[in-house]
Amino acid sequence: AQKVTQAQTEISVVEKEDVTLDCVYETRDTTYYLFWYKQPPSGELVFLIRRNSFDEQNEISGRYSWNFQKSTSSFNFTITASQVVDSAVYFCALSENNYGQNFVFGPGTRLSVLP
């Protein structure tokens, strides 16, 4: 069965610092999909990124970047020059197919960005 581990329960940084959120996954499938979601204090879940297992290129979107390494089964998320608005719980998730039924979330990492 698939599993997602986010070893960092809580992280605190000062504004403008860079921060990396770790995600390690387990799956037996060769085809799978990885996701990151953000849950701000207001509670909703915001989709950030989807990456399939055949695409190991790193991705950058503004201050956000993702490092996917199949060799270590990791899909880490870096926020550059963090801002107070980045304070949220971040979830990594894994889907073993693109049909949606085997969708597993990690426990989340709570990021606090202090002014």
Q: Which residues contact 6 (CB under 8 A, 6 or more apart)?
A: 21, 22, 23, 24, 90, 91, 92, 106, 107, 108, 109
For residue 24, the minimal CB distance to other proteins (Å) is 14
Residue 53 is a binding residue for other proteins (CB under 8 A) = no
Choice from 17, 20, 40, 50 touching other proteins (CB under 8 A): 50
Kindly report the backbone phi and psi dihedral angles of residue 72, in degrees, each rounded to the nearest multiple of 5, phi listed first: -115, 10
Residue 44 is a binding residue for other proteins (CB under 8 A) = yes
Alpha-carbon distance of 105 to 115, in angstroms, equals 30
Q: Which of residues 54-113 bind other proteins (CB under 8 A)?
A: 91, 95, 97-101, 103, 105-108
Choice from 45, 60, 81, 84 touching other proteins (CB under 8 A): 45
Residue 115 is a binding residue for other proteins (CB under 8 A) = no
